[in-house]
Structure 1
Amino acid sequence: MEGKEILKDLSNFSAVSGSEFQLHEKLENIFKDLVDEIKKGILGDFIAVKKGEGENRLKVLLTAHADEIGLMVTDIDDRGFVHFTNVGGVDPKTLPAQEVIIHGKEKVFGVIGAKPPHVLTDKDRKKSIKIDEMVIDCGMTRDELEKLISVGDFITVKRHSIGLLGDFITGKALDNRSGIMVLYECAKELKNIKHSCDVYFAATSLEERGLLGIKTTAYEVSPDIGIVVDVTFADKYADSDIQIECGKGVEITIGPNIHPELSEKLIKIADEYAIPYTIDVSPASTGTETWNLQICQEGIPTLLVSIPIRYMHTSTEVVNYKDIIRAARLLVLFISSLKDWGDIYA
């Protein structure tokens, strides 16, 4: 299965924050022939280790969070309607009329309903709809539902990832299954070349709930260098401050959350090998796992490489697979250039 098809498969699979362990089997299948060791963490993180050559090897951690945003059952009312809340940054206005799957004892399908426009008052029409004003209609009674689902069950939008023209792909959870595919493509290339570093490919947990899972992963690996791969906004049509677009390269972040010598070396490599990129200047938090990774243990030098996507945190995110390949190539070249800290501070 080629990379695009693997990404579609990962997009179609559901793993809301707190249920990342459900991805483990799929991740093991795609990484097992590329690495030397696989570990599975208590909080649902997945780590694939590719050993380097020589002694006193640097440990490089590449991370991409495995979890996705979603919903959770809070109540089943007397009419058989399911009430719910959000898990992560769900935009309520994207929810009405969506097909959903409730992940209970078995999958239960339903649709999210809301008041039809015909019965809305003028005042209501000017308001943004709230999650507590919506319900899920499964066409079942309360008694029937309670045999299949429970309060606390996760809910995801029912969406099938598809290819668009060229190298574009749309689907849910491309934030951050796209990042996982960067790790996969990187591991695929590193299998065929010599490198000095031990490389830890980590699909981390609970990012959408406050950048939490990276903390335990960092303690488990204790890396010398941490590189976070995530997605970034490519909706240039909607915001003139957005500089990057899908299909035109990767984003490299600089700022106090990022190690200056590491970022300088990464940018030099991108220039040397003509890998298109945009610089993101981030004076404070990057909003990614680098924020917590940097201050784990005694401090971990960090980098952030981002893949541009459109319509983030919707069920129709769009990514260009060429950008995934570019990010992976940049990381392969960076990792293969490292032998010790002298390569950074030279």
Structure 2
Amino acid sequence: MEASSYEFLKQLLHTPSPSGYERPIQDVVRKYVASFADEVKTDLHGNVIACKNPGAKTRVMLAGHCDQIGMLITHFHDSGFLYAQTIGGWDAQQLIGSRMVVWTDKGPIPGVISRKPIHLLTDEERKQITKLEDLWIDIGSKSKAESQELVRIGDPVTLQLGFQEMRNSLANSPAMDNKTGLWTIVEALRRASSQSLQVGLYAVSTVAEEIGLRGAQTSAFGVDPHIGIAVDVTHATDCPTIDKRQQGDIALGNGPVIFRGPNMNPHVTERLIQTAKDNMIPHQLSASGRAVPNDANALQLNRAGCATGLVSLPNRYMHSAVEMVSLEDLDRTADLLAAFVVGLTGEEDFTP
């Protein structure tokens, strides 16, 4: 991974982007792609669309959603504590004791999520699963009035952002889902842009995936791609308690995961697999027998249909503060996507 690309990844992971509040991270994307994309635009939904070779007859869209799960301020307690609802899918157990940031017009405000200490829980309370409505955010205010001077209803909240490298080229951070997928499609565009392209390549930083694939739906309508590949994270199963019989045998460091199943065009899938083999890129296979819950779903159903592929990055501990990925997997996935696109003539027939 080149130094500039590595710094771009870290910048993404240190920038907040809960669904509906993606502007800061989209500014980072626009600035980075400006040096190698032929066109960069932002649509009315907030999707950033970077294109190389826009005049080509055949259009290929790479989709990586930029939004992360978060929270939204809904209520002020009389003592100054904040209550919030979730943006996206949270496990309340993951939030207890977490350091948080409230992103306000006046700047970021640190806080913590807590509840009654274990010493004070009754025997019955200890047996119960924590509910989100029983958790609050403490920003250190002394009163409701003090909190209201700083925070407004509807201000977004995220986990405290950060990036930590680990052994064996692994790293952990909140929002690896899906800032790593976003990094990968942008990096694929950069790598492909220095080669001979016979198709138009559109790398789209999609918004609002975590609340219903909304950005992919609107941006795909605008781009109208013939071929679309979504890049998202998938569950790594190389840790205890996960049933590989249904989830597959997916490990960090073993390369990108190419999905097979009815949501994916079989010709696109096979070409991705062959491209990986031809370029000696380690890869893994996974399967889904249903409509996948990511941008590949929206791509496949766009307009009269799109020849769709899904390439995923193995991720341990998804939707937590310590999502973990392999940096080597990111690099290999960018290589795979760039090689796939550069290998297209624009005359391929992907009709199933």
Give yes or no for the alignment of 1:98 onto 2:86: no
Distance (whole Å) between structure 1 residues aligned to residue 216 and residue 333 of structure 2:
20
- What residue in structure 2 maps to residue 280 of structure 1? 286
Tell me, yes or no, if the aligned pair for 2:16 and 2:161 is still in contact at 8 Å: no
Tell me, yes or no, if the aligned pair for 2:307 and 2:350 is still in contact at 8 Å: no
- What residue in structure 2 maps to residue 61 of structure 1? 61
User: What pairs with 1:312-331 in structure 2 (closer than 5 Å)?
Assistant: 312-331=318-337
- What residue in structure 1 maps to residue 317 of structure 2? 311
Residues 110-145 of structure 1, C-alpha deviations (whole Å, 9 max, x = no match) = 111101111112221122111110111112111111
Q: Which amino acid letter does the alignment assign opposite residue 61 of structure 1?
A: M
User: What pairs with 1:81-160 in structure 2 (closer than 5 Å)?
Assistant: 81-106=81-106, 107-140=108-141, 141-160=143-162
SS of the aligned residue for 1:284 comes to: coil
| 4+ long deviations beyond 4 Å | 343-346
Tell me, yes or no, if the aligned pair for 2:18 and 2:70 is still in contact at 8 Å: yes
Q: Which amino acid letter does the alignment assign opposite residue 310 of structure 1?
A: R
The alpha carbon displacement at 1:66 in A equals: 0.6
Tell me, yes or no, if the aligned pair for 2:229 and 2:310 is still in contact at 8 Å: yes
Distance (whole Å) between structure 2 residues aligned to residue 301 and residue 261 of structure 1:
8
Tell me, yes or no, if the aligned pair for 1:19 and 1:44 is still in contact at 8 Å: no
**Taking structure 2 as the reference length, what is the TM-score of the superposition?**
0.94
- List gaps (5 residues or longer) in structure 1: none
Q: Which amino acid letter does the alignment assign opposite residue 67 of structure 2?
A: D
- What residue in structure 2 maps to residue 177 of structure 1? 179
SS of the aligned residue for 2:290 comes to: coil
Distance (whole Å) between structure 1 residues aligned to residue 101 and residue 351 of structure 2:
51
The alpha carbon displacement at 1:319 in A equals: 1.1
Distance (whole Å) between structure 1 residues aligned to residue 191 and residue 234 of structure 2:
24
The alpha carbon displacement at 1:4 in A equals: 2.6
User: What pairs with 1:210-221 in structure 2 (closer than 5 Å)?
Assistant: 210-221=212-223
Aligned identity (percent) is 32
Tell me, yes or no, if the aligned pair for 2:221 and 2:303 is still in contact at 8 Å: yes
Tell me, yes or no, if the aligned pair for 1:250 and 1:305 is still in contact at 8 Å: yes
Tell me, yes or no, if the aligned pair for 2:13 and 2:174 is still in contact at 8 Å: yes
Tell me, yes or no, if the aligned pair for 1:8 and 1:171 is still in contact at 8 Å: no
- What residue in structure 2 maps to residue 240 of structure 1? 243
Distance (whole Å) between structure 1 residues aligned to residue 29 and residue 331 of structure 2:
18
Tell me, yes or no, if the aligned pair for 2:50 and 2:202 is still in contact at 8 Å: yes
SS of the aligned residue for 1:274 comes to: coil
Q: 1:56 to 1:9 in 2, by over 3 A?
A: closer
Give yes or no for the alignment of 1:291 onto 2:297: yes
Residues 298-325 of structure 1, C-alpha deviations (whole Å, 9 max, x = no match) = 1111000001111111111111111111
Residues 250-289 of structure 1, C-alpha deviations (whole Å, 9 max, x = no match) = 1101111111111111111112222111211111122111
Matching residue within 336, 339, 342 for 2:345: 339
Residues 205-264 of structure 1, C-alpha deviations (whole Å, 9 max, x = no match) = 110001111111011101111110001111322313141111111110111111111111
Q: Which amino acid letter does the alignment assign opposite residue 243 of structure 2?
A: S
Distance (whole Å) between structure 2 residues aligned to residue 30 and residue 339 of structure 1:
28
Give yes or no for the alignment of 1:266 onto 2:268: no
Matching residue within 246, 251, 257 for 1:251: 257
The farther-off stretch of 41-50 and 232-241 is 232-241
Tell me, yes or no, if the aligned pair for 1:185 and 1:328 is still in contact at 8 Å: yes
* Number of corresponding residues: 344
Tell me, yes or no, if the aligned pair for 1:21 and 1:45 is still in contact at 8 Å: no
- List gaps (5 residues or longer) in structure 2: none
- What residue in structure 2 maps to residue 7 of structure 1? 9
Give the alignment's Cα RMSD to 1 decimal: 1.6
Q: Which amino acid letter does the alignment assign opposite residue 116 of structure 2?
A: K
SS of the aligned residue for 2:292 comes to: coil
SS of the aligned residue for 2:234 comes to: strand
- What residue in structure 2 maps to residue 164 of structure 1? 166
The alpha carbon displacement at 1:343 in A equals: 6.2
